[in-house]
Amino acid sequence: MKLNRLSLAILLTALPTASIFAAGLDRSGQSISAFLQPGNYAEASFSVLDPTVEGTSRVDNKPLSDMGDDYYFPAAAVKVQASEKISLGLIYDQPFGADATYGINTGTFDNGTESTGVKVRTNNLTALIGYQPTENWNIYAGPVWQTVKADIKLRGAAYSLLSGYNIKVEEEQAYGWLAGFAYQIPEIALKASVTYRSEIKHDAKAIESSDLAKLGASLPTTGHPLSPAKPLLATMGYRESTVDATTPQSVNIDLQTGVAANTLVFANLRWVHWSQFAVKPQLLAQATELAKGKAQNLIDYSDDQYSITAGVSRKFNDKWAGTAAIGWDSGAGNPVTTLGPTEGYWSIGLGGQYSPAENYFIQAGVKYFWLGDAVAQTGGTQVADFKDNTAIGYGMKIGYRF
């Protein structure tokens, strides 16, 4: 079962589409596997997801067309073994995001001319320094730089008086950190690592606009507890504001071991603290508190996310290797936000790798997802059901040793 250095390096790479559809806004899975590769190493990857997310409106019991937009994202990493005991790394990914556009069909999520839509983008740059006191141990930590931006609009009967609300969040940066350790026995391809990433708090500038002035117009001049708020509501049609959002802390556990010559099994376990996540635009919170007596979040989740991916990698010869994996994701609570109406998944994936030379490889993979059924709600009101949905992901990676 002993593996040489090249065979081990090939087998350590898993499917490039490992985590491109997950609970909450999770996308990349925030892996640091490139940093744990032996020697000097660099990689770049590109993943695409094609979801089909359809449902039925509870407002008028009519079918809702596919609201899940295709999306893609890149990732890259470089690791340098600076000395026998010190390693340095830099990892780029897009850990969180959302892409969805409802069709113009039932009026539940559209107003006849425009529909509800969401685009959320994040960028992460993680710097790592690792200390290897022995061949077996690696202790690492480093800072994380993150940006976030978003463009969201709400339309249709599902949102009641909030239909017509828009928010555009300007790109804003913030900082966090990560730390972890790894243990390995290279002779049998045994490796275990635990990585913690901190939450990152964003106080972003935004432009909010809406028809919320109609809330003021809808109130009686006298005799209503919110009547004094009418002048304030009338000024809320367009405003620069702030948005509080904290991307969640997480823990990744990666395990692998050789089980036969040129064969190893692996597993990734991930926890993400989504139950404390909430996006709180200033205007939306003030207006909904005035109108309903309680501030409403734009996006929030009720549960933490737990996920596991497990599989086997096999080196067939000096040039070809393959990977097969299955995955499960718990979701982040049900009912869910209307801007991402799925609740976890089951998945199966296949990947292949071709190594034209000893120092580089090309890898491609495909993964199929069975998405969990979900009830979509807004403002505490359940407005739609989404069932029997699926997604397919594709990915490609290039790795190079120098």
> Given pLDDT bands bounded at 50, 70 and 90, which one contains residue 235?
very low
* Helices (runs of H) and strands (runs of E) counted in the chain: 4, 24
Cβ–Cβ under 8 Å, residues 235 and 217: no
Q: How far apart are CA 347 and CA 351, in angstroms?
A: 13
Can you list the domains of the chain with their CATH numbers?
A: 5-401 (2.40.160.60)
Which pTM was predicted?
Answer: 0.91
Q: Which one has a higher pLDDT value, 87 or 72?
A: 87
DSSP 9-74: HHHT---TTTTSS-STTB-S----GGGGSSSSEEEEEEEEEEEE--EEETTT--EE---B--EEEE
Around Cβ 117, how many Cβ atoms within 10 Å? 21
Length of the chain: 402
Cβ–Cβ under 8 Å, residues 242 and 205: yes
Cβ–Cβ under 8 Å, residues 84 and 36: no
pLDDT tens string 46-61 = 999 999 999 999 999 9
Q: Hey, is 225 helix, strand or coil?
A: coil
The dihedral formed by the CA atoms of 188, 11, 73 and 130, expressed in degrees to the nearest 10: 40
Among 1-5, 10-14, 17-21, 215-219, the minimum mean pLDDT is found in 215-219
> Given pLDDT bands bounded at 50, 70 and 90, which one contains residue 362?
very high
